[in-house]
Amino acid sequence: MIHIVKVISNCYVDSVLLGNLSEKVNLIEGVNKAIIAMGTDRNKEVMKRLDLLNEDIQNASVSDLIINLSISNSVNLDEIIAAVEALLNEKLIIEETGYLISYLQTTVSEQKMDKTTNTSIVLETDNKNHRSYHEIFQPLTNGLMKEFDDHAIVQDHRGINSLGQTDLMLAVLAKNITKTAKLLELGSDPNHKDNSGLSPFIAAAANGLSDIFELILHYCPDIQEVNHFGGTALLPSSEKGYLNVVRSALKVGVSVNHVNRLGWTALLEAVIFGNGGYLYQIIINELIMNGADISIKDFEEKIAIDYATELKQKDVIKLLNNEKKMSNFIGIDMLIKKKNYIQALRDIAKLPNSLEKLFYQGMVYEQMGYEKEAEMFYRKGAGFDVQFIYYLAQLKRRQGRVEEALSFFKYGAENTNTYFYDYQQTNYLRELGKHQEAVNLTETLLAKYPSRVDFMFHLANSLTTIGENEKAQEILKKAATIQPTNNLFL
């Protein structure tokens, strides 16, 4: 393995394009891993966490571009360097960044963001010199938050609405990586919690926004932060099957055996809320390989294998018993991790036909951005196995076609006898703002599973949203009687 560190002086790259550049460099054949960042203290801290901080990086200034490459010994080094330099010349380097107006201003001068230092000096000023949200933030965001105009309570550099959501949170929920990047550059706090206890960092993980999640990681958030359930970023991403977020969270050291207020670890959630299919098997395998303790009991004194047995997840049981080895796809999975997608597809093509092969083909094409090709493989698999309905639904959601995703989950619910697809429907109904439908479906789930306190919490949340506060409180009191040692509902 060859390790290369290249620092380019006075070469400012807009942070929004850094991810684009990194992705393209990672696709170069022979590059096992590429990390590209500006030489800020935050980025140096990330490099330090990954054991990549050397003298060249340590001495890099905020106007220097850091390129860190791990390259296979067998490739031509000159060809790799030439390919990287070609990408740098594709106008990805932004020569003119324009001006960003500071949130706090003096009456005599506007502050400009210096393109060579990537900083914006915010001067101390008294209240009379505060510009209003509509004068300052709205032009900066090009109207991104028009639908949230009434939320503008300026507090330092953060607008906070009645729900306690900052502008950064709204940008994350809008899945707008460009605005998220600009707000992070201006110092917005990725760990600021709204009234529900949710932060932009956890929101990115819980919504499967892997690009935004990785972007936030460059700004050194508190990676062990928890949500209202007491879960780290690893728990909701494991629960919902967001593989890329799970891998990123594990890579930076999010605690793999953290127990939330419901008594669950990431492993337990992947089993309890998963469907036992290929995607969840990969997630469960990742968790185990990173030290997940399969013997941790929840409040019902059950361990992961107990739930896998109840849910008839045969392949998961084999994984937990160390009886199943994902041998055919271990090498391919490593290529996918390194974003060496072309080689992954070549290796997959050599394997005999199987449903697992269809899954991996669809997943690779999806990660490459070829969504039509991914859908083709998923649809082919859906003719044989209902788990592919889940992959189609997730694909449609990422495309912003949530109604279509919901229809897939309805189909899955009609053709299986587990709560997996109904539970997923409740999440999507809330995302679409169909809270009464979410209430009705969650009540149906609770009729089948009356002791599930997590379902109770989701029901109470939906009831509160539609103004049924008294009914919501009754549900929470009932939940507290089921788990009296749990202060989640008090």
> Tell me: the pLDDT tens digits for 67-91?
878 787 777 777 777 787 777 765 4
Percentage of the chain lying above the pLDDT 70 cut: 78
pLDDT band at 136 (very low <50, low <70, confident <90, very high): very low
Whether residue 321 is found in the same domain as residue 233: yes
Domain that holds residue 194: 1-11+163-222
Whether residue 317 is found in the same domain as residue 262: yes
Whether residue 235 is found in the same domain as residue 250: yes
| Mean pLDDT across 149-165 | 55
pLDDT (0 to 100) of residue 442: 93
- Give a yes or no: residue 485 inside a domain: yes
> Tell me: the pLDDT tens digits for 366-388?
999 899 999 999 999 999 999 99
pLDDT (0 to 100) of residue 306: 95
Whether residue 236 is found in the same domain as residue 177: no
Of 49-63, 244-258, 330-344, 401-415, the range with the lowest mean pLDDT is: 49-63
pLDDT value at 487 more than 60: no
Cβ-in-10-Å burial (0-12, 13-18, 19+) of 65 comes to buried
- Give a yes or no: residue 154 inside a domain: no
Domain's final residue, options 179, 207, 222: 222
Whether residue 170 is found in the same domain as residue 252: no
- Give a yes or no: residue 270 inside a domain: yes
- Give a yes or no: residue 152 inside a domain: no
Whether residue 213 is found in the same domain as residue 272: no
Whether residue 253 is found in the same domain as residue 307: yes
What CATH number corresponds to the domain at position 464? Answer: 1.25.40.10
pLDDT (0 to 100) of residue 469: 87
- Give a yes or no: residue 337 inside a domain: no
| Mean pLDDT across 180-201 | 91
pLDDT (0 to 100) of residue 355: 92
pLDDT (0 to 100) of residue 339: 85
Whether residue 178 is found in the same domain as residue 249: no
Identity of the residue numbered 85 = E
| Mean pLDDT across 15-36 | 73
- Give a yes or no: residue 31 inside a domain: no
Strands (E) in 152-304, as ranges, are 154-155, 158-159
Whether residue 211 is found in the same domain as residue 245: no
| Mean pLDDT across 122-136 | 31
pLDDT value at 153 more than 80: no
What is the 3-class SS of 68-123, one letter each residue?
EEEECCCCCHHHHHHHHHHHHHHHHCCCCCCCCCCCECCCCCCCCCECCCCECCCC
| Mean pLDDT across 32-60 | 75
Whether residue 286 is found in the same domain as residue 256: yes
Contacts of 270 (CB under 8 A, 6+ apart): 238, 239, 241, 280, 283, 284, 287
pLDDT band at 102 (very low <50, low <70, confident <90, very high): very low
Percentage of the chain lying above the pLDDT 90 cut: 40
Cα 267 from Cα 308, distance rounded (Å): 11
> Tell me: the pLDDT tens digits for 409-435?
999 888 888 888 888 899 889 888 899
User: Which comes out higher in pLDDT, residue 155 or 97?
Assistant: 155
**Block residue for tokens 């980025």:** 43
What CATH number corresponds to the domain at position 178? Answer: 1.25.40.20
pLDDT (0 to 100) of residue 328: 66
Of 58-72, 98-112, 132-146, 250-264, the range with the lowest mean pLDDT is: 98-112
Domain's final residue, options 325, 345, 361: 325
> Tell me: the pLDDT tens digits for 215-242?
999 988 999 999 988 899 999 999 999 9
- Give a yes or no: residue 420 inside a domain: no
| Mean pLDDT across 254-269 | 94
User: What is the number of domains present in the chain?
Assistant: 3
Structure token pair of residue 172? 């994350």
Structure token pair of residue 399? 């495309």
Whether residue 233 is found in the same domain as residue 218: no
pLDDT (0 to 100) of residue 245: 96
pLDDT value at 475 more than 50: yes
In the predicted model, what is the mean pLDDT of the chain?
Answer: 78
**Block residue for tokens 């300026």:** 154
User: Which comes out higher in pLDDT, residue 32 or 152?
Assistant: 32
- Give a yes or no: residue 249 inside a domain: yes
pLDDT band at 11 (very low <50, low <70, confident <90, very high): low
pLDDT band at 490 (very low <50, low <70, confident <90, very high): very low
User: Which comes out higher in pLDDT, residue 136 or 421?
Assistant: 421
pLDDT value at 18 more than 70: no
Of 133-137, 162-166, 297-301, 322-326, the range with the lowest mean pLDDT is: 133-137
Task: List, in sequence order, every residue forming a beta bridge with 7; answer none if it has no partner.
Answer: 66
Whether residue 307 is found in the same domain as residue 233: yes
Domain's final residue, options 222, 253, 272: 222
pLDDT (0 to 100) of residue 376: 95
